[in-house]
Structure 1
Amino acid sequence: MSAIETPDPGTDYRVPALQRGLSILGMFSARERSLGMNDMAERLGVSPSAVYRIVQTLADMGYLRKIGRNAFELGPQVISDGFAYLASRDLVEVAMAHLNDLRDRTSLSCHLSIREQTDSLYLYRALAPQRLAVNIPVGTRLPCHSTALGRVLLSGLSEAQLSALYQHIRLDDYPPPAPRTLPELQQLIAEDRQRGWVLHRSDYSTAIATGIRDHSGSIVAAINLSGPDAVMDTQIAQQGFLTTLLAASHDISRELGHAGWSSSL
């Protein structure tokens, strides 16, 4: 059995054709959806003939698609491979580091939840070290309409979907500030949807929540910051926490393939 050779650190093992091919794919963006072969060659600093075979290979494999005599755009294989990878990443795995960092930066508890019918199911928590920290265990289910996380999740539904979901659900068994009728819930969620985040007070604590979006722009989860009213009671404190929360949700959504969105403060 032959011994495995140890790579020489001083040797350049790069494959120029592969490097050029990946560089070509990286040239496309939302602002430049199509490029000619001459454009590609110019940016690489080579002649068009030097990239011809690379471009043709990428086109044959579906990574580029010819749209004119000498113009190309990204092909369906790029989208297929990218979304397959993003879909394979576990939501908790992606969000965990961001929520831990969010807890460390704010000293507040953070939670991640998804919607299952009319319940908000808690998937992860980053528990603050404070004695009065808000602590909701993983696996807890709470009614969506009565929590900040749940209302954010409901804001991802259309008006028709929301009405169908709650058509036969009684809401008058829950104490204020939870809505007690379907019209009240519809109005509340419409305002939440427009705002992009929810602030909710209950039991001497306050929670601020916002959504996590996937590559299609759909809300697939929600995260929050929650703590005692004494810490979160002022408008200045709330705005600071909200800014930090929105930044974390943007980062998580971007890792899930979402291009980004803005929420009003």
Structure 2
Amino acid sequence: MNDIEEMERETDYRVPALQRGLSILGMFSARERILSMSDMAERLGVSSSAVYRIVQTLVDMGYLRRVGRNAFELGTRVISDGFSYLASRDIVEVSMPHLNALRDRTSLSCHLSIRDQTDSLYLYRALAPQRLTVNIPVGTRLPCHSTAMGRMLLTGLDELELAQLYHNVRLDDYPLPAPRTLPELQQLIARDREQGQVVHRSDYSTAIATAIYDHQGQVVAAINLSGPDAVMTTPFAQEQFLKSLLATRDSISGELGSL
């Protein structure tokens, strides 16, 4: 297959409506904050009717916002998604060297996660070089209320926000020691918030987690140390590991602007 045939084949896989939708979003800039549907159609070289459904879909999804009868600006979805991505990327870049150093000091695995609704989403792991280790891949989602890092992520919410988040979530489907009711969850998270860390045992392993804070004092992520019970269960070991974990928390939070 020659280069021309290869290019034609790749073109066949394109989705014209998606391509036009992304092109429309790319038309907005600091100089041009508001565009009409006819502006979009003219720049795409198509009729207004050809972009009507695309624009309406972008409005319905929050990527565009109608500001007049035939005028649109970028919607909050673009801004929130963009800042969420940048914040997550910054957190990983800032946290990575600190978690690697923590792993080297303790010989335990370290993980970093953020909250996505009721899930704890794993963004980074520093894997310990020992045979018995806790290894949770990047991209894994685990229920917040049943994990150490997840519970620390939930400490960023107050009692009302917790109730709203878990309004339609069944908690009694999860095995103990996960909380089984909303009041139980609220009490647990209040205690976690006061203590500033969570120790959680499961499947012959133990995890110690704490929260990461940004320049506004908001919980933006969580980190943990995790390893086999044989290493983690003695009070002295837990005390030393917790001390190292909290020092790492302070270093990462400090780079994010937390006082």
Q: TM-score, normalised by structure 1?
A: 0.64
Q: Aligned pairs, how many? A: 174
Letter in 2 for 1:191: R
Report what 2:175 is aligned to.
Answer: 175
Query: Aligned-pair RMSD on alpha carbons?
Result: 1.3
CA apart distance, 1:87? 6.2
Report what 2:254 is aligned to.
Answer: 254
- Give yes or no for contact 1:87–1:256 (8 Å, CA) kept in 2: no
Cα distance between partner residues in 2 of 1:116 and 1:189: 17
Letter in 1 for 2:133: A
Q: 1:176 to 1:104 in 2, by over 3 A?
A: same
Cα distance between partner residues in 1 of 2:88 and 2:188: 34
Report what 1:213 is aligned to.
Answer: 213
Report what 1:136 is aligned to.
Answer: 136
1:101 equivalenced with 2:101 (yes/no): yes
Structure with the higher fraction of residues in helix conformation: 2
Identity %: 76
CA apart distance, 1:205? 0.2
Q: 1:201 to 1:243 in 2, by over 3 A?
A: same
Uncovered stretches (5+) of structure 2, i.e. residues with no partner: 1-85
Q: 1:120 to 1:88 in 2, by over 3 A?
A: closer
CA apart distance, 1:187? 0.7
Q: 1:87 to 1:129 in 2, by over 3 A?
A: closer
Give CA deviations for 1:221-250 in whole Å, capped at 9, x if unaligned: 000000000000111110110000000000
CA apart distance, 1:192? 0.2
Q: 1:231 to 1:158 in 2, by over 3 A?
A: same
Report what 2:70 is aligned to.
Answer: none
Cα distance between partner residues in 2 of 1:185 and 1:175: 14
Q: 1:169 to 1:87 in 2, by over 3 A?
A: closer
1:223 equivalenced with 2:223 (yes/no): yes
Give CA deviations for 1:70-117 in whole Å, capped at 9, x if unaligned: xxxxxxxxxxxxxxxx96971100000000000000000000000000
Q: 1:159 to 1:204 in 2, by over 3 A?
A: same
Q: 1:169 to 1:209 in 2, by over 3 A?
A: same
1:204 equivalenced with 2:204 (yes/no): yes
| Regions of 4+ moved over 6 Å | 86-89
Uncovered stretches (5+) of structure 1, i.e. residues with no partner: 1-85, 260-265
Task: Report the secondary structure of 1:142's partner residue.
Answer: strand
Cα distance between partner residues in 2 of 1:219 and 1:122: 15
Give CA deviations for 1:174-204 in whole Å, capped at 9, x if unaligned: 1111001111101100100110110000000
Cα distance between partner residues in 2 of 1:238 and 1:88: 29
Task: Report the secondary structure of 2:178's partner residue.
Answer: coil
Report what 2:44 is aligned to.
Answer: none
Task: Report the secondary structure of 1:110's partner residue.
Answer: strand
Cα distance between partner residues in 1 of 2:201 and 2:125: 19
Letter in 1 for 2:167: Q
Cα distance between partner residues in 2 of 1:230 and 1:240: 15
Cα distance between partner residues in 2 of 1:179 and 1:96: 31
Q: 1:100 to 1:88 in 2, by over 3 A?
A: closer
Task: Report the secondary structure of 1:90's partner residue.
Answer: helix
1:114 equivalenced with 2:120 (yes/no): no
Give CA deviations for 1:122-147 in whole Å, capped at 9, x if unaligned: 00000001111000000000000000
Equivalent residues in 2 for 1:1-265, closer than 5 Å: 90-259=90-259
Q: 1:116 to 1:88 in 2, by over 3 A?
A: closer
Q: 1:247 to 1:167 in 2, by over 3 A?
A: same
Q: 1:239 to 1:89 in 2, by over 3 A?
A: same
